[in-house]
Structure formats: C-alpha cells, structure tokens
Structure 1
Amino acid sequence: MPFFISFSAFHLFFIVSLCIYFTGVAAQKGCPARKIPELQNAENRSDLKDQYIHAESVRFACNTGFVGFFRVTCRDGVWSKSGRCQAKQCGHPGDTLNGDFTLIVGDDFVFGSSVQYTCRKGYTMASRISHRTCLLIGWDNIVPFCEVVKCEPLNPSEQLDVSGNFEAPQYSDVVEFECNSPAEKLNGPRQIYCTDTGDWSGQIPTCQEITCTRPEIPNSIPDGKNNVYKKDDIIRFQCVENYNAVGSGIARCSRDGWTMSVRCEEFTCKVPDGQFLNFTSFHATEYKVGEKVNYVCLEKYKKREPFATCTLNNWRPQTMCEEIICKRIPNSYYARHIHAGWSPYNWPHRITYGQYNYYCNKGFKETQPTATCTAHGWAPENPCEAKCDIPNLSNGYMVLTKDESAISYTCVERYKPKTEGWWDYITCTNGKWSDTPQCIANNSCRALPVVYNTTHKNEYSVGAKVEIQCYLGKISKCIDVKLECTENCTRSNDERKGSMDEDGGTCEAECQTDYSATCRDGEWTFPPCSDKVKDSPCDMVQDGQLENEELKKSIAKQIK
C-alpha cells in the first residue's frame, strides 16, 4: 500500500512539470525581420522572412573588400548579433629611395586607404603617378621613383685649378677653385655647390693679381705711404702714445689679404696685489695713463707718495706702502710696546707702528704716559722733554708742581712780584722757564710794557724816568696804543697825527715828540694823548694788539 502511494505521487509530479514546460515554450515571442539591427559593411539579403521564431538565426556575408560575417539570432522577440566585417589588409605600400609617403585616406593599410609619395630635398619625382590605393587585389600602381637633381656642367678658364665633379654635377656636389699662378688670387668664391633647385650657389670666379690696400689699425701709425701693396710686401706699425703693441707689429700682404700680428691696446694699470693696500680706496679695476689714486695703506703701513700715478711703466711709486718704522725716542733709554715685553734699545729690533710705554734719560721727563709710533713719527713729537733747573728766588716762596713743569711763587711782606698781581706762575718748556721769578720792593715800579725794538729793566726805582722816541711809518689804522703814541700816526715836526678805522670812528691825536713815562709811588704815569677835535683822551691799547708791521720794524730808543 505505501509503495503504491509513492509511485502515484512521482508520476503526478512529472506530468505537472511537463505541462508547465510546454506552456512556457508556447508563450515565448518571435522576431520580425524589419527589426534586424544595422550591420556595418555587411551585404543585404533579399530572402528574409517576415517573422522568425525564438532561437532562429540568420547569417549575413560581408561587402566586397571586407572579410568575416555577421549572425543575428532571435531571443524572445529581440535580435542579438555576433561577428564583424573587417576591411581587407593590403600590407605595407613600399618605400621609395630618397623619398617618403604619408596616408592621405584612412588610418591603416586597408581596403580603400591611399598614400602619397614625395621626394626629399635634392631629389625630384621621376614617376608620372605619385600615389597608391589599397584595392581588393592589393595596392594599385607601382612604387614611385625619385631621382637626384642635376646642375649644368661647368666650363672654367685655364687660369683656374678646379677640383670636384664639375662635368656631371648633381645635388650637393662641391667644386673648389684655386688660381694656378701663386701671384694671383681668386676674385669670387673659392667654392660653389649644386643646390636642390638645380642651380649653382655662385658664379665661377676669376683670377687677379694679389694686392692689398693700406690697412687701418686703430691707435697705430704705419710706416710707408703707399695705398696699394703687392704680395709679400710688409708694413710695420707703431702704437700711439699710451698704447701698447700686442704681437710682432708687422703686417704682410698675402693671397688672403693682410696677415697681421699686431693690435694696439690702451695701456692701463691694474690694482696692484700684495702691497698692504686698503683696496676700497681703488674705485676701479683699471686706470689709464696719467690717472691718480689717493690710495690708503693698511694699519701699520704708510704711504710713500701722496698719490699713486698710472704711467707707461705701471704705477709710480711701484711700492706704494712701506712699514711704519720709528727711530728711538730721543733722550730715552727704555721703551716697550704695550702688547710686548720690555726691550732695551740696544737689542737688535725695530720700532714699528704702535703705542709704547717708555722711560726718559736722567734730566728729562716724560711728556705723556705713552708715545705712539705713527706714519709721521712719534706722537707727541718730543716724548722726552728736558727738565728745568729750579730757579733762585729772593724775598719770596715757590711751589713746584709734581712733574716739575711749572712753578707758582709769591713774595714776602714789603715785596711784590715784578709782574701784576700778588703772585705769578711760570712754566718749563724744553728746559727753559717762561720767565725768571723776581720779587721787588713795593715802592718800586714793575717793568714797562713791552715796546718793539727796545730794551728795559725789570725794576725801576722811585723817580726814575724813561723816555721813548718812536719813528712812525706809513698810515694804516689809528687804534689805541700805549707808549707808542697812536699806531699809524705820521710825524710832522713836533706833532703825530692819525685817524682811527671806520669801526672806531676818527681820532686826530697830538702828542709830545719825546714820549716819556715817570715812576711815582711804584706806578708808572704817562702823558695823555688828547683828541684835538673833541678835546678828549684817545684810548690806549696793550702792546700785543699792535697790527701795523711798520711799527714792528720801527726804530726806538730807550733813554734812562
């Protein structure tokens, strides 16, 4: 019983499946012929049906010049295609000697493509047809042919020696010419060649006698006066001033013109090397003859000349900077560079640029703590100065400075310095005191004011009288003058007259011919010099203010 049930179920399932299958097949659609897709380069068929059922196929052959086929199949109402039609290959069209080709139709060597042949430079197309086309049977025509361009044969004269193919010349052939006679040269090109157009590049040259015209070399003076020279004639050149000859200075006339080994270059001086120079003082790299440079030397070196001058013999001076060397400090026994150890002078060494500590000999003193060796010698000029002997002073006291370069002094009671004031001050310079200190009695007169070309004492007793006679020269200015009357007065009998400068107004003065001064109670009294016009005193001035050189040369006489 169970086996029967299982068998019946299997048969039932099989029967149902068959029904479903045949039902589906009956439901698939067909394809109309009018909907067959476009098939490129395929032949059209005239035997097509109007309708094709599912899975039915149609084959299409290719057009002439193409190989392959197409197949279309109906798939549930839609056409599908496979296959293709390819253009027939012709292969390479062939190369031509001295030529090239390019595709002018198509992009490959296949049916319907065309190529165009052209000839290279110097060649021309010899074939009537210069193109080929890919046909069903292959390439048509033959490969074109290019032939070389030819020029006309040459017929040179007997004067010429010709080398090269000049009888059957063709493109790029070169023909060279030379004159048979050594005394002649070519008049025209030395060589010509056959061009790509079939023409010669130039005319056949001729031969003519070798001559040279007078050459022109800038900044030179040639000898001789001829304008035309023959073969092997020579000319010598000389450069003008401030120019140098480069070469032998000789030019020779030859087949190719003047063979010159000369040129004139302006002489220049270059900035010198290795001369201890500060090169920033040279503002150019070269200088012409006569130009000067205010050069600067490096530290520790000094200039030999104020300027360096460029000459035909190079720079003058040739050595511009020299080491600064000083002689030993006069009146000294030791010196050392501030950056060196002590060195006595009698040791073998040089005193070069720099600052030195030093000691002076006995009887001399150091004017500065250090002395410097410079390009102009020692600074200060006299590092060691002679000391002054201590002077004697009666009736007074002296105070000497620590360096013994000055003395201040004053006098005891009932005495006074010979100069104005209650004390005086003298200085020592190069071993000499500026004055001699002296104390005089209070009732004595001090020294008279200085009068040019006179002598006087430092002390005068009470009642002493001094007369001064002056010779007055040319008029210049009438300014205040003491003892000399008025500066610029003229002498007329017993009168002295003059006028003051514009800034001081006018003063016509009248003075005694013999001008006298009298010592009274320790002071000098002087007669007045009055203004005759205004009846008022004319001013006086100190001796140091005199400006008239004639007065400085005047003759004066002092009478006690």
Structure 2
Amino acid sequence: MTVPVKLLGFSLWMLSLNFARCQECLQKDIKYENTEAVAKASYADGETVKVNCMTGYTGLYKLKCEKGKWKKSTERPCAKKKCSHPGDTPNGDFKLLEGTEFVFGATVVYTCKKGYEMASRSNQRTCRAQGWDNAVPVCEVVKCPAIRTDGDVTASGKTEDGSYGDTIHFECVSSDKIIDGSSDIQCEETGKWSDIVPKCKEITCIAPVISNGNVVEPKPKYQKDAILKYKCNKGFKESEDIPRCAKFGWTLNPECHEITCELKSTTFGVQEIKPKEKTIFRAGESVEITCSEKHWLFGTKESNRSFTCQSNGKWDYEPVCEEITCDDPLGQHVSGPYWGKLKLGVTQSFSCESGYREMGKVATCTRDGWIPKPLCTGPCIVTVEEMDKRGIEQRWKPN
C-alpha cells in the first residue's frame, strides 16, 4: 500500500507542476519593436510586467500574464525621441543626411558659404537620447596673405588682413609710369589673391594700324607725350586733333575719315537731281541740280548746273536752290524809300529822281531784274560836234 500511495502522490505533483507551467507567460513571446528585454524568462499566471523602450525612444507597455498569454493593460508604442532645431550657423547652411525630421539618430551636416571655411573640428551634429551632440559649427571668412609692394607701387585697401571679397588697388608713385599688370586684385574663396602684385613700367605707346592710312616715320615705341604723325590715303582725311601718347594709350584713335560732301537741300525749290536719292558724295563725284520755275541756284542766277565735291570735303559752289528775287534798284535814279528784296512777279509803283522820268507806271520783278529797263530815263544830251556830224541845225548858238 505504501508504494502505490507514493506513486499516486508523485503523479499528482507532476500533474500540478505541468499545469502550473502551462499557465506561465514567456519573455520570448513579448515582440514589440524597439523595446528592452524584460528581467525574467517567464512569468506566472497573474503576474504583471513593465516593458520599457530602448534608449532614444519614448513609450511604454504594461502586460499581465493570463493563463499563459500576455494581455496589454497599457500601450504606448515606442517612437524615436525628437530633438529641437540643431541651430543655424552664420555664413553657413546645414542639411539632414536622411529623413525629414530631427529625431533620435538623425544627423545634420554643416557647410560654409562661398568665401568662408569651417573653423570647428566637426562639421556635423547627431540627435542623441539627451539632445544634439557637439556644438554648432563655426564658419570663418577666408583670409588672404598680406600684400607687399616695392617702392614704385602704392597699395590701398586691407593690405595686412585681406578677407574674401576685399579689393586691393595699386597705383604708381611716379606720374610718368603705369601699372604693369592688374591695377585691382581680389581676395578669392581659395584664400589667394586673383593676381600677383604688379610692378610699374614707363609709359609708352606703339604705332597703331590705321585703316586707309599709315604712320609717318614709325617708331618701335613712343614715349609719354610723343605725337603720332600719320597721313591718309587719297579720298580720306585725318582727324582734326593730334594723337598724343598718354597714360592709357593714345589720347585719340588715329582715324582716316572718308572725304564726303552732303547734299542737304533736296526738296526746296528743286525740280530734279541727278543722280536721284543720293545725298552723300565722295571727293571728285558730282551732282546736277535743276531748280523749279520760280527758283535759281544760290549766288548764280542759273537754273541748272553741276556741283563737284572737292578734296577738302566742300562743294565747289553751294548746291542750293533759292527763290528768285529782285534787289533794290540802286543806281537807277529811283527816288526812295527803297522796297527791299521782292519775289519774282511782284510789281511795285515808283517815281524817279528830279530830272528823270518814269518809263512805266509800275516796276515788275523778273528773272532778268526790274522791268521796264531802264526804270527812269534822263534828258537827252548831244554835243555840237555830234549835231553837225548828223546835219542838225541849232536854233540857238552861243555868242
């Protein structure tokens, strides 16, 4: 009896033990993301456990073991902790390496703007569990070396501590010299000056190539204030001013201008021009002008003639039509006051000086002047010899 009883007791104990184990909840069955492992491998029925999030995450789970299964009493899923703005740096920018939010694990990389360089040991910050690591990087302006010149050159600007964008201006001490190189250099983003420090050289000019002309007695070099002598080809003329060697080259560009004459008046009083529709003529070329009925060519009293452009750029005569007019009848014994200049066809009453009589009632302006001609006639004077010659007998004879 004793052995069977013991066997029965052992069997009941094993049965209760297996039943208890079937009611346990296991650690391996907790499978939430980004959580830390709980302390024990298994939990008895009715036990509760707090599941914490991994470092850098926020949230919480509370679980209870019920008949071998976990039941949630609190659930706040684990999410990455957020960081504040990482901070701007003057003269620089930053960007996220990945993602779009400032959360645990995110990294921002800083870069400096053009002309600035990173002065900090690290150029990035990472969002950690306690916030951003490292300090906000610092960008400093790029510096260029100090400027050193010889005694002939003066430099103005920040010659000792030039920074990106600064400009140094150079001039020669002597007014008889000119900068040989760049008169202005800039501090570049590389920390170097855009050009070397220049020297000074004597002011000289070289003979230019002149279109339609050539230099007279050319020289390899012309010193300051030297005059350039040149002449132009036929049909061209030199500029009125004389080129002189100066600091920035010749004071004027030695040019040969084509000699031309301009026909300025092409409509007033003009009947015909040959050739038509041409107003600019070269030296030696001619134009024929015919004036209209009531006009003649200036200063000629002609209606038609040719005009030639001369080598000095002037017409041989003025190619202009003007209205036909008659001047005051001076020397024709017409008594004043005079009439002034009157146009073709105008009539004017008049009277003659004492001892002269009018040849008509009015004077008329024509292309040939005033008519009738003459306007006034005087007494007839004949010598005795002429009368005798013609057989005219005098009624009165002097004693």
| TM-score in terms of structure 2 length | 0.53
Which residue of structure 2 lines up, in the alignment, with residue 138 of structure 1? 131
Higher strand share: 1
- The equivalent residue for 1:128 is 121
Match status 1:259 vs 2:258: no
Q: Deviations over 1:107-153 (max 9, x none)?
A: 34445543321111122222232222334433232211222223333
Aligned twin of 1:208? 201
Q: Give the 3 Å change call, closer, same or farther, for CA 351–231 of structure 1 in structure 2.
A: closer
**By how many angstroms is 1:236 displaced?**
4.8
Deviation at 1:43, TM superposition (A): 7.5
Per the alignment, in what secondary structure is the counterpart of residue 309 of structure 2?
A: strand
Between stretches 288-297 and 140-149, larger displacement belongs to 288-297
Distance 2:307 2:364 in 1: 31
8 Å CA contact 2:153–2:170 kept in 1: the answer is yes
Counterpart Cα distance in 1 of 2:255 and 2:273: 31
After superposition, give the CA deviation of every residue in 1:400-426 in whole Å (9 maximum; x if it has no partner).
xxxxxxxxxxxxxxxxxxxxxxxxxxx
Distance in structure 1 (CA, Å) of the matches to 2:95 and 2:291:
79
One-letter amino acid matched to 2:280: E
Once superposed, what is the RMSD of the aligned Cα atoms?
4.6
**Structure 1 pair 137–223 and aligned structure 2 pair: CA distance change class (3 A):** same
Output the CA distance in 2 between the equivalents of 1:97 and 1:115.
16
Residue 321 of structure 1 corresponds to 321
Which one of the candidate residues 169, 178, 182 is aligned to 1:185? Answer: 178
Match of 1:283 among 277, 280, 283: 277
Give me the whole-angstrom Cα distance separating, in 1, the residues matched to 2:228 and 2:125.
71
Q: Partner of 2:260 in structure 1?
A: 268
CA deviation vs aligned residue, 1:432-452 (integer Å, no higher than 9, x gap):
xxxxxxxxxxxxxxxxxxxxx
Deviations 1:175-223 (A, max 9, x none): 3333333433332222323221122222222233333333444445655
* Greater Cα radius of gyration, structure 1 or 2: 1
2-structure distance, mates of 1:154, 1:118? 29
Q: Distance in 2 between the 1:297 and 1:268 partners?
A: 23
Question: Match of 1:172?
Answer: 165
Give the Cα–Cα distance (whole angstroms) in 1 for the partners of residues 100 and 233 of structure 2. Answer: 76
User: 2:227 touches 2:244 (CA, 8 Å); kept in 1?
Assistant: yes
Whether the aligned pair in 2 keeps the contact of 1:282 and 1:295 (CA below 8 Å) is: no
Aligned length: 274
> Which of 189, 197, 221 is equivalent to 2:190?
197
Equivalent position amino acid for 2:120 in 1: S
Aligned pairs (5 A) from 1:209-248: 209-220=202-213, 226-237=219-230, 239-248=232-241
Mapped to 1, the partners of 2:273 and 2:126 lie a distance apart of: 83
Partners in 1 of 2:263 and 2:194 — Cα distance?
54
Q: 2: distance between equivalents of 1:346 and 1:204?
A: 96
Aligned partners of 1:229 and 1:253 also within 8 Å: yes
Distance between the aligned counterparts of 1:145 and 1:182, measured in 2?
47
Quote the Cα distance in structure 2 between the aligned partners of 1:299 and 1:111. 105
Question: Structure 1: which 5+ runs fail to align?
Answer: 1-39, 47-59, 71-81, 326-339, 353-560
Checking the alignment, whether the CA contact within 8 Å between 1:308 and 1:320 is kept in structure 2 is no
One-letter identity of the residue aligned with 1:254: A
Q: Offset at 1:284? A: 4.2
How far off its partner does 1:230 sit? Answer: 2.2
CA distance in structure 1 between the partners assigned to 2:194 and 2:164 by the alignment: 11
SS at structure 2 position matched to 1:199:
coil
Q: Distance in 2 between matches of 1:244 and 1:143?
A: 73
Secondary structure of the 2:140 match is strand
| Counterpart Cα distance in 2 of 1:201 and 1:83 | 62
Percent identity over the alignment is: 37
Q: 1:247 to 1:97 in 2, by over 3 A?
A: farther
TM-score, reference length from structure 1: 0.40
Residue 97 (structure 1) aligned with residue 77 (structure 2): no
- Alignment-mate amino acid for residue 185 of structure 1: I
Aligned to 1:309: 308
In structure 2, what is the Cα distance between the partners aligned to 1:129 and 1:141?
Answer: 8
1:56-84 CA-to-partner distances (Å, cap 9, x unmatched) read xxxx99987677899xxxxxxxxxxx999
